[in-house]
Amino acid sequence: METALLIALPLLSGLLTFLFQENKAKQISFLISIATFINALYLAFNYCSCTLFNYDLNLNWINSLGIHFHVAVDGISLILILLTTLLVPLILLSTFQSPIKNAKSFYFLILAMESALIGVFTARDAFLFYIFWELALIPIYFICLIWGGENKNKITFKFFLYTLAGSLFMLLAIIILYLNNPARTFEIEQLYQVGRTLDFGTQAIIFWSLFLAFAIKMPIFPFHTWQPDTYTTAPFAGTMLLSGIMLKMGIYGVIRWLYPMVPLAFDFYAHYAIILSVIGIIYASIIALMQKNLKRMIAYVSIAHVGLISAGVFVGNEEALQGAIIQMFMHGINVVGLFFVIQLIFERTNALDMTSLGGIRAKAPLFTLFFIIILLSSVAVPLTGGFVGEFLLFVGIFQYHEIIAAVSGLTIVFGAAYMLNSFQKVMLGEANEKTENFKPLHLTEKMLLIPIVALIIIIGVYPKPFLKISEPAVKALIEIANSTIPLNH
C-alpha cells in the first residue's frame, strides 16, 4: 500500500496546483515534492532487509488478461526512488528564479512525471511496467514541446517518436514472453522462469527488442542522436529530468528486465552491448572535447558516463552492478548539478557558448567552489561520490576483460580534458562584459547546490549505507541470472 501511495501522491496532489493561482503553483508543487521525498525517506528508514521486497502490493487489475497492479520495493528500486524523489524538489527549486508561462501545467507535468517514474522503478508486472514507462514519456514530451527553445517542434517530435519506437520493441518482447507463459500473467517472477525455457532464437529476439528500448532511452551509441538536440532544446528543468532521472529508466530496465530474463541470449550477446557502450564512452568523450555549447557538451558527457554504467551492467558481476547502481545515483546528482550550474550562468549572462564567457571565478567565489566540487565528482576524483561508482565499475569490467577496462578507463583522461577545458573557458581568465556583473547566489540557488555538494562528499567518503541497501537485491538478481539454465537450445 505504501508504494501505491508513493506513486499516487505527486500525481493526485499535483492536481491541487490547478486550484491555486498561477504564481502559487511553484510553492505548492515544491511542497508536494518535499512531502513525497519525506514519504520516500520514511520508506527508506523503515525498509527491512529481512525480506527482499518490501511494501508489496498485488491487486488484480485486468483479470481476463492476467494483468496485476503489482508494485514492490527492493534495494535497487529504493535507491532510484530516493534519487527521483530527491531530484524532483531540486529541479523544481531550479525553476524558482525565472518566470514560467502556464506555471500550473508545467509543475503538474513534472509531478505527474515523478509518479510515472516511481511507477517504473517499482512495477513488478510487465504490463504495468510498460504503462508506466510510456506514461513517463508524455509529461516530458509536453514539457519539451511547450517550454522548449529553438527548433523545439522538430526535435521534440524526433525524440518522442524515437523513444516510442524503442518502447514498441519492448512491447513486442513482453508479448512474446506473455504468450509463452502458460500461466498467462505478466508477473516478473514468472516471466523470469519463462524466459530461460525459451529456445535461443526467441531469447535473442527478446534480448535485442528489450535492448533497443533500453539503449534508446539511456542512450547507448549509436542510438544517441536524439539526445544532444533534446538536451539542448529542452528547458533546463526538462533537461535535468531527462538526464537526471529518465535515462536511469533505461539502465534500470537492463538490470531488472533484461539481465535476468534471457540468460542464454544475454551470455551470448552482452559482449556486443559492452563493446557498443565502450565505443560510446570514447566517441562521446572525443566529441565533447570540441563542443562550444555548454548544454550540448554536458549532453555528450552524459553519453560517455552512461556508456560506462551500461558497460558495467552488461558485464553483470556484483561489483559492476553495485557500481552501476551507485553511479546511477551519483550521475543523477552530478548531472543535475552541472545543468543547474549552466542554468545559473545562462540566467545571468544569457549565454551558453563557453567561448563568450570567462572570468566568473573572480566574481562569484562560492559559486566557483560548488562548481569545482561537482566537476571533481563528475571526473571521479576520490573522496567524491563519482569515484565510488566508477571505481566499482572499473573493478567489475576489469574482471570481465582487461582491455575493455583499459579502453573505458580513458574516460578519466578525457573527462579531465573536457571538464577542465570548459571550466577554464567559463570560469577563469578576465571577466568580459557578459560576466562583469555576475550576481552572487540567491538563497534558493544555495538551497539547491548545498544538498548536491553535501551528497557528493558524503557518498564519496562513506558510501557504505548506499552499497548496503542495494547489495541483497543485486545478489538476488545475480542468483536468478545464474540459476540453472535448461540446455535445450
Partner 1 sequence: MIELVWLIPILPLLGFLVLGIGNNKISKSIAGIIACGSILGAFLIVLSLLIPMLNGTLQATTISYFEWISTGKISLSFSFLVDPLSIVMMTIITGVGFLIHLYSAGYMSHDEGMTRYFAFLNLFVFSMLLLVMGANYLVLFAGWEGVGFCSYMLIGFWYKNQNYNDAAKKAFIMNRIGDLGFLLGMLLILQTFGSLEYSAIFSNTSNIVPNSNLIIAITFLLFIGAMGKSAQIPLYTWLPDAMAGPTPVSALIHAATMVTAGIYVIVRSNVLYNLAPATLEIIQFVGIATALFAATIGLVQNDIKKVLAYSTVSQLGYMFFAIGLGAYSTALFHVVTHAFFKALLFLGAGSVIHAMSGEQDIRNMGGLSKKLPITFITFLLATLAISGIPPFAGFFSKDEILAHAFEKSPLLWGLGLVGALMTTFYMFRLFFLTFFGTFRGTEDQKHHLHESPLSMTIPLAVLALLSTIGGFIGIPEVLGGNNWFKHFLTPIISSTHSESHLLSHSTEWILMGLSVGAVLLTIIITYIVYVSKKSIPSPDHSSEGVVHKLLSNKYYIDEIYESIFVKPMYQLSQLLHQFFDLKIIDGIVNGFGLTVNKTSARLKSIQDGSLGFYLFAMVGGIILILIFNTIL
Question: Which residues are paired to 73 by β-bridges?
Answer: 54
Find the part of the chain contacting partner 1 (CB under 8 A) among 39-47, 134-142, 180-188, 389-397: 389-397
Show the site string, 320-349: x = touches partner 1 by CB under 8 A, - = not: --x---------------------------
Which of 85, 291, 302, 334 touches partner 1 by CB under 8 A? Answer: 291
Which of 226, 236, 257, 438 touches partner 1 by CB under 8 A? Answer: 226
What is the closest distance, in whole angstroms, from the C-beta atom of residue 195 to partner 1 in the complex? Answer: 25
Which of 462, 479, 482, 486 touches partner 1 by CB under 8 A? Answer: 462
Quick check: 463 binds partner 1 (CB under 8 A)? Answer: yes
Quick check: 168 binds partner 1 (CB under 8 A)? Answer: no
What is the closest distance, in whole angstroms, from the C-beta atom of residue 388 to partner 1 in the complex? Answer: 6
Quick check: 388 binds partner 1 (CB under 8 A)? Answer: yes
Which of 46, 424, 437, 482 touches partner 1 by CB under 8 A? Answer: 424
Find the part of the chain contacting partner 1 (CB under 8 A) among 45-53, 77-85, 268-276, 360-368: 360-368
Q: Tell me which residues in 107-166 interact with partner 1 (CB under 8 A).
A: 158, 161-162
What is the closest distance, in whole angstroms, from the C-beta atom of residue 296 to partner 1 in the complex? Answer: 10
Which of 287, 338, 344, 453 touches partner 1 by CB under 8 A? Answer: 287
What is the closest distance, in whole angstroms, from the C-beta atom of residue 283 to partner 1 in the complex? Answer: 6
Which of 15, 62, 289, 458 touches partner 1 by CB under 8 A? Answer: 289
Quick check: 99 binds partner 1 (CB under 8 A)? Answer: no
Residue 26 or 434: the one with the smaller Cβ distance to partner 1 is 434
Residues near partner 1 (CB under 8 A) = 158, 161-162, 222, 224-226, 283, 286-291, 317-319, 322, 359, 361-362, 365, 369, 376, 381-383, 387-388, 391-392, 394-395, 398-399, 402, 405-406, 409-410, 412-413, 416-417, 420-421, 424, 427-430, 461-464, 467, 471
